[in-house]
C-alpha cells in the first residue's frame, strides 16, 4: 500500500475516523491556557486522556503488538499521527509523541 491508497483502504479510513473522533471528542476539549506554563497541568490532562485512548484501542500506535502496541504498518501510523497532531494533546494521549529534547545536563556533565 502506498499513500495514494490510504483513502481507499477501509482499515485506514476506519482508523482515521476513530482517531479523529478521539481527538475531537476528548483531546481538543481538554486543551487550555493552563498547559502553557504549568507542566503539571499538562501531565494531568495527559493522565486523563491516556486511559481513554487505551480503552478505545488507540494507545501506542507506533509499537508492535508483542510490546503492547497496535502493530500498525508505516502507512497506518502515518494516518494515526496525522490525525493525532490536530491537537497538541493528541500525540501525548496516544503515547506516540516525540521524546522530550534534553536542553542541558541534569547534573554536572560526566568527566
Whether 111 is covered by a domain: the verdict is no
Whether 23 is covered by a domain: the verdict is yes
Whether 108 is covered by a domain: the verdict is no
Structural domain for 52, as ranges: 3-93
Whether 55 is covered by a domain: the verdict is yes
Per-residue confidence of the chain (111 residues) as pLDDT tens digits? 555 566 678 888 899 999 999 999 999 999 999 998 898 999 999 999 999 999 999 999 989 999 988 899 888 888 999 999 999 999 999 999 877 654 444 554 455
Kindly report the pTM of this predicted structure: 0.81
Whether 14 is covered by a domain: the verdict is yes
Whether 103 is covered by a domain: the verdict is no
Whether 104 is covered by a domain: the verdict is no
| Domain total in the chain | 1
Alpha helices in 1-111 (DSSP H): 10-22, 28-30, 34-37, 39-55, 74-84, 90-93
Whether 101 is covered by a domain: the verdict is no
CATH number at residue 62: 1.10.540.10
Amino acid at each position: 500500500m502506498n499513500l495514494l491508497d490510504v483513502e481507499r483502504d477501509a482499515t485506514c479510513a476506519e482508523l482515521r475516523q476513530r482517531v479523529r473522533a478521539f481527538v475531537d471528542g476528548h483531546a481538543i476539549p481538554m486543551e487550555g491556557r493552563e498547559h502553557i506554563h504549568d507542566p503539571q497541568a499538562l501531565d494531568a490532562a495527559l493522565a486523563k486522556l491516556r486511559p481513554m485512548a487505551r480503552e478505545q484501542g488507540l494507545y501506542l500506535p507506533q509499537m508492535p503488538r508483542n510490546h503492547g502496541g497496535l502493530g500498525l504498518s508505516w502507512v497506518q501510523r502515518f494516518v494515526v499521527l496525522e490525525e493525532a497532531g490536530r491537537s497538541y494533546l493528541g500525540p501525548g494521549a496516544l503515547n506516540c509523541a516525540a521524546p522530550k529534547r534534553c536542553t542541558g545536563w541534569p547534573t554536572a556533565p560526566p568527566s
